[in-house]
Amino acid sequence: MRLLGTLLAVLPTLLSAQHCGYDHASIIVVHPHRVNSPTVEPRLRITLLDTDHLPVMIHGQEWNRFRPNDRSGALHDRAWQPHFERYKDLEFPFAGDNYVLVIPSHLDYTGYSILVQDERNGGMGELKRTVVPISNNDVYGLCGTFDEEVYPTRKGRPDFKPVDIILYTP
């Protein structure tokens, strides 16, 4: 009987210790498209820039390249970044056919921006380079939501929407 009482006393602690596979992870979703088209542009190099306008480094590793939201998780230029292996076979249904970047949620992304480059034609693509500022409102937590078809509304946060990036030709 004492064992059962001890088990019942410890049970809430054991249950609260269970974690989601995306604890401390967030996502930025971007929708890059031409000025008069809603279609997402393929083969873009999309980079998260820090407050100094440099590609983001976290713990000394590059952590800045967006990838298409598909099961391949591959970049067309085969660039490797350490976080790709962890999330390579995952697709986030709520993010649609956009580009995604899974990032740590404990950082302050105020003053960060996103650089979009067209790498077609040997890096001399047909679209202008574009830099778009982001805020913490563009960063969405993943724990409990990564496999949702529709990102749930959260109290005190704006509704989910990808960062809209309009691309122009020179």
DSSP per-residue letters across 49-74: E-TTSSB-EETTEE--B-EESSTT--
Q: How many residues does the chain have?
A: 170
Mind listing the pLDDT tens digit of every residue in the chain (170 residues)? Answer: 665 555 555 555 444 444 566 778 888 999 999 999 999 998 899 999 999 999 998 878 777 889 888 766 555 544 545 455 555 556 788 888 999 988 888 889 999 999 999 987 776 778 999 999 999 999 988 887 766 777 878 788 788 899 999 999 88
pTM above 0.95, yes or no: no
CA-CA distances (angstroms) from residue 157 to 63, 121, 140, 161, 170? 25, 41, 9, 11, 36
Token output for 16: 């609260």
**Cβ neighbour number for residue 158 with a 10 Å cutoff:** 11
Written as six digits, the tokens of 50 are 């820090």
